Chain A
Amino acid sequence: MPLPADTDVSIPKYLRDKYAIVGIGETTYTRGSNMTTRALGTWALRNAAADAGIKTSDIDGMLSYSNNDSTSATFMAGDIGARLNFYMDCIGGGSSTEALIGIAIGVMEAGLCNCVALFRAMNGFSQVRIGGTGARSAVPINGDMLHNRAYGWQSAGQMFSPSFMRYMYQHGTTPEQVAMVKVVHSEHASNNPKAYYKKRYTVDDVLSSRMICKPLHLLDCCVETDNATAIIITRADRARDMRHTPALIRGIVGRCNKPRMDMHYQTGPIERVAAYYAKDILWPNAGVGPEDIDATGAYDAFTFTSMLQLEDYGFCKKGEGGEYVSSGITRLGGRRPNNTSGGHLCEGYTHGMNMVIENVRQLRHDIDDSCPMGPDGKRQHTYDYREGGCRQVKDIEVTANLGWASPGTTSGMVMRRG
């Protein structure tokens, strides 16, 4: 595919398109998995290897992330019969996927291993819920937590809301505009047989759902689910022998931050998110810009997070995020659909990896919707996006994933169809 001329850039150009995502694996997105994160993780890893058309023992590198709510690579590797030449388990949630793909490229480039599997396994509903509810609310509060938890300020929604509120104040964004993020993602989820919530919601549904932490209604918040996801990354020249069209990795920005990560509200406009800094790494690294992107995966822990990231990565002008997400651009059939799986708001929650998986499938032109199977074993996509229908983006060539850990931290990745 034609791409704009390489103008400049901060990574060696030889890394562009040199590595690819060749395998993707998921479990069901459910509540009450009735199995350990170890069992979930190995399930997703086996699926990813089968998807790539390799043996699990071909995996010789492993990366994972968790918040002490998962099982480490040391156990997963044995369970899939792999002897690893490299592994690392990291602490983190959102923004980890893209950043760890960058690390995977780095360790392969350094010659440490040849084929890296990245997984996230979590019982995010039935075991460890985000936000520190239940027994975890009773932990002693010390150190930095004295300046947040002591004020009943601890869950993700609570920690982010001052940014969201100030954004609305500054730019006149309406609750109805923001609610459109959920509306659009729910339309996409209705065409995703594996989504946890497949129901289509209206703006009124969102605004009449109960308030959790103003400005966040229940339906502004993502779903909590039990699930695991895995992806397999290797060199693009090896990818040619595998089962599917590779998703070539064009460029990455990983865990890029605002100043004062310890308390980002101390610096800059607080409605500015880390994407403001990350865009100047992602787009030069990838050699493309927002206008070249056919679909986005902007992390939707909340409706607001998708909107703020799309804006600060440059998909619209500052202050116009509300118009962008309510204009139809982000809808299937629009110029640049966002989170075609339904994302964290509807499909399920695996801290960003399922949004990367969705874009890999989009780039293969092989989305797992309800379109009929053709004689070649591939779906015959209708591009009819009505409820229960197709969710394949037509002729898609380039995608961007925009990961979020907080207003202060983001990762991003551009992929293109190989």
Chain B
Amino acid sequence: MAIQGNYMGMSLTIDDLDTENLTYFRHCADHAFHLQKCDDCRLLRYPPTTGCPWCASPNATWTAVEGKGEVHSYEEVHQAIQPAFKGHTPYMVLVVDLDTQKGQPSADEALRVVGNLTTPDGVLASPDLVRQVGIGTRVKMVFVDVTDGLSLPQWTIDTGAPQPVKPWRYPLE
């Protein structure tokens, strides 16, 4: 069954045939982050794909993955395109290295999961919160419920984790 929901003024849809995304977002709707783990090379991958990008195997098993990691890079959007984001600028897009599988299959790789910086309840972070986050900040995943079978994974500051004294931020501030 196709899924359709509205989030931040956008119509999000998952088509009937898009089984990978249906499964990915259904797990998110259960607030349990899952990724495909290759049955052959045993590596996880993100985002959902049909074949294994590391070994080309078509066989994979959805596996629970801890939603914790460190900001690998970020940007701050000051001029939003989607109308509903305009009231939340600057908003942050984070590329987060998950702790799980970091440094695999080579030292330069990690499961890099994209999301916005949000409050613990999934609202786009305020400018004050945005200024506290940079490369190195520890974050944990939260889920924003959009509709039945579709929640979006987002990132919030992991207050329970040791944080860098000064995460790296763009120099001119």
Going nearest first, the 9 A-B pairs with the smallest beta carbon separation are A161-B75, A214-B76, A162-B73, A166-B73, A211-B78, A142-B13, A152-B85, A147-B47, A140-B11
**Which residues 106-148 of A have a CB within 8 angstroms of B?**
131-133, 137-138, 140-144, 146-148
Interface of A is mostly: mixed
Given A146-B21, A150-B10, decide whether A213 and B79 contact each other with a Cβ distance below 8 A. Answer: yes
Q: Which of A133, A146, A151 contacts B14 (CB 8 A)?
A: A146
Among B7, B75, B90, chain A packs the most CB atoms within 10 A around the CB of: B75
Contact yes or no, B11 A152, CB < 8 A: no
Pull 22 A–B residue pairs with CB atoms less than 8 Å apart, ordered by A.
A137-B82, A140-B11, A140-B13, A142-B15, A146-B21, A150-B10, A150-B12, A151-B115, A152-B8, A154-B81, A154-B82, A158-B77, A162-B74, A162-B75, A165-B73, A169-B73, A175-B171, A210-B78, A211-B79, A266-B46, A268-B108, A270-B73
Q: Complex formed: what's the CA distance from A158 to B79 in Å? A: 10
Task: Say whether A211 contacts B11, CB under 8 Å.
Answer: no
Bound-complex Cα distance A146 to B149 (A): 14
Partner of B152, one of A132, A137, A150, A259: A150
Question: Is B80 part of the contact surface with A, judged by Cβ < 8 Å?
Answer: yes
Closest chain A residue to B84 by CB distance? Answer: A152
Q: Which of A140, A215, A260, A268 touches B170 (beta carbons < 8 Å)?
A: A215
Identify A207's interface contact among B8, B73, B115, B172, CB under 8 A: B172
- Other A-B pairs beyond A166-B135, A207-B172, A270-B73, 6, CB < 8 Å: A137-B83, A152-B8, A152-B116, A212-B78, A214-B77, A267-B109
Do B75 and A165 touch (CB < 8 A)? yes
Q: Mark A316-351, 1 if CB is under 8 A from B, else 0.
A: 000000000000000000000000000000000000
Q: Does A262 contact B (CB under 8 A)?
A: yes
Interface residue A38 (Cβ < 8 Å from any Cβ of B): no
Whether A143 lies near B78 (C-beta < 8 A) is: no
Contacts of B82 in A (CB 8 A): 137, 149, 152, 154
Interface of B with A (CB < 8 Å)?
4, 7-8, 10-15, 18, 21, 25, 45-47, 49, 53, 72-83, 85, 90-91, 93, 95, 106, 108-109, 111-112, 114-116, 135, 152, 168, 170-172
A168 near B: Cβ within 8 Å?
Answer: yes
Check if A155 is an interface residue, CB within 8 A of chain B: yes
> CA–CA, A161 to B79, complex, Å?
13
Residues of B within 8 A of A131 (CB): 81
A142 to B7, CA, bound (A): 12
Neighbouring A residues of B11 by C-beta, 8 Å: 138, 140-141
- Contact between chains at A165 and B21 (CB < 8 Å): no
User: Using Cβ atoms and an 8 Å threshold, which residues of chain B touch A166?
Assistant: 72-73, 135
Q: Mark A281-308, 1 if CB is under 8 A from B, else 0.
A: 0000000000000000000000000000
Does any Cβ of B come within 8 Å of A57's Cβ? no
Contact A214 B170 (CB under 8 A): yes
* Residues on the B chain within 8 Å of A260, using CB: 53
Interface size on A, residues (CB 8 A): 47
**B72: chain A residues within 8 A (beta carbon):** 162, 166, 270
Q: Are B78 and A213 neighbours in the complex by a CB distance under 8 Å?
A: yes
In contact, B10 and A149 (Cβ under 8 angstroms): yes
Contacts of A148 in B (CB 8 A): 114
Chain A neighbourhood of B111, CB < 8 A: 266
The residues in A between 158 and 187 inclusive whose CB is less than 8 angstroms from any CB of B are 158, 161-163, 165-166, 168-169, 174-175
Which residues of chain A are near B8, meaning CB under 8 Å? 150, 152
Q: What is the minimal beta-carbon distance from B100 to any residue of chain A, in angstroms?
A: 14
B143 CB to closest chain A CB, in angstroms?
13
Interchain CA distance A55-B14 in the complex, whole Å: 51
Say yes or no: is A385 at the interface (Cβ < 8 Å to chain B): no
Closest to B115 in A: A151
The answer to the question of A78 belonging to the interface, with a C-beta cut-off of 8 Å to chain B, is no
Bound form: Cα–Cα A154–B152 in Å: 16
Measured in the bound complex, the distance between the Cα atoms of B109 and A260 in whole Å is 12
Determine the distance from Cα of A140 to Cα of B106 in the docked complex, in whole angstroms: 37
Shortest Cβ distance from B112 into A: residue: A265
Report yes or no: B116 in contact with A165, Cβ–Cβ below 8 A.
no
Assess whether A269 is interfacial by the CB under 8 Å rule: yes
Provide the residues of chain A in CB contact with B108, threshold 8 Å.
267-269
Known A141-B13, A162-B75: A174·B171 in contact at CB below 8 Å: yes
The answer to whether B53 touches A259 (Cβ under 8 A) is yes
- The answer to whether A152 and B95 touch (CB under 8 A), given A142-B12, A213-B76, is no
Q: Are B170 and A168 in contact (CB under 8 A)?
A: yes
Q: What string of 1s and 0s marks CB contacts (under 8 Å) between A245-267 and chain B?
A: 00000000000000110110111
| CA distance in complex: A411, B95 (Å) | 26
In the complex, A153 has a CB within 8 A of chain B: yes
Q: Contact: A268 with B109, CB < 8 Å?
A: yes
Q: Which residues of B contact A141 (CB under 8 A)?
A: 10-13
Instruction: Judge whether B21 and A153 touch: CB under 8 Å.
Output: no
